[in-house]
Amino acid sequence: MMISIFGLGYVGAVTAGCLAMDGHNVLGVDPNKTKVDLINRGQSPIIEKDIGKMIGKSVQDGLLHATLDSRKAVLESNISLICVGTPSQLNGNLDMSYVRRVCEEIGAALKEKSAFHVVVARSTMLPGSMRTIVIPTLEEFSGKKAGVGFGVCINPEFLREGTAVFDYNHPPKTVIGQTDAKAGEILATLYEKMDAPLILTDIETAEMVKYTDNTWHAVKIVFANEIGNICKAIGIDGHKVMEIFCQDTKLNLSAYYMRPGFAFGGSCLPKDVRALTYKGRSLDLDLPLINAILPSNMRQIEQGIKMIVGKGHRKIGVLGFSFKAGTDDLRESPLVDLIEYLLGKGYEMKLYDSNVRLAALTGANQDYIMNHIPHISKLMMESMDEVLDFAETIIIGNGAEEFRRVRENLRLGQVIVDLVGISDERSGEQYDGICW
């Protein structure tokens, strides 16, 4: 395929070299003549393992060239990849001027082109950038409609400096956000030999995936450092602790806890986070990430309350109020905090949880209900139907299987506030989810 790449910096140079090595004809575009001349001499404009040899061979084989002429690049290619920088501004926002300028140049060239052309953003951009900057600029300067006169995709890169060539050829996933299926299919052919999941999605989701990845990587580093600082202060080898931690790929390094939803609770997580933050304070350690866990968890409870109150109903039904499905444990359940707030504001409430039955409870759970939250015990119903007949707003509080059918039987005026993602269909006038 004939490919033009706009921007011959780190991402652009690596992408150009790798695509040329795959047998594609690649034309790099950059306003910096020095970079263009380096490429055309078979030299890399960046320092990165293996890329110098790859560029040299690709230029020698006639598969890679560079130019200052953006019009020529678009007219002579089938697909254009935008790989220009999006540097930070002083306020943290992105400087999108390079992206905008390139889109103006590509759009102007598309005005002269009759063949269907695909424009792909590889530059890292905040969610909404494609809809508010890239697509409108391309349409304005081309006089054509995205998805009709030309295709638009976003294809975030997941390259690490120092291992970029390896990362390109062995990606954990390939994500394509598409405005139309034709453009997505054309772009996907570039990666058909990759041994990695190919994910086709909408452009906003693809934009957000890159930021989710990088923010999570940053969180992992900060978390490991804060754990290491605690270990250092009490004479433990932090590396040994984290090596053992990382051997757990069922829970610690997995997707198990990575679903947006309501706050965490139970007898372990709140207690243990609280104890660790206390230990940090006692050691005079500043642990901003770990110290923020419980306050952030409380913000999610407040978000749930805000959603429920916003429905404007006074009769509230709660389905599932133990801290998770399959348990009768109410200790530090965030649902209990939510229920107590609503009761304090005068809302009428009925509750149902098949695992929380007063007659069956013993020991600590019975003591907790009877002595700590007796006002809640009086609201507990024996059947789900009693709650559904009463409530105007129905809160799905945990993922018990029996709650999946609730949505099918809503009456006019009833709404669901789903805190756990019980339904695969996450839209509709009578349905609202906390993080979706």
Closest CA to 264 of 48, 423, 420: 420
- Cβ distance 220 to 195 under 8 Å? no
Runs of H (alpha helix) within 173-315: 181-188, 203-233, 238-246, 269-282, 288-291, 293-310
Among 18, 83, 153, 268, the one annotated catalytic: 268
* Residues in Cβ contact with 3 at an 8 Å cutoff, skipping those fewer than 6 apart: 19, 24, 25, 26, 27, 77, 78, 79, 80, 81, 190
What does the block give as tokens for 387?
A: 């709650």
Helix (H) or strand (E) holding 74: helix 70-75
Angle, alpha carbons 399-431-395 (nearest 5°): 45
CA atoms of 50 and 55, how far apart (whole Å)? 9
What single-letter amino acid sits at 1? M
Q: DSSP letter at 328?
A: -
Neighbours of 310 (CB within 10 A): 11
Is residue 268 annotated as a catalytic residue, yes or no?
Answer: yes
CA 213 vs CA 83, 152, 218, 293: distances in Å: 19, 23, 9, 19
Q: Which residues are catalytic?
A: 268
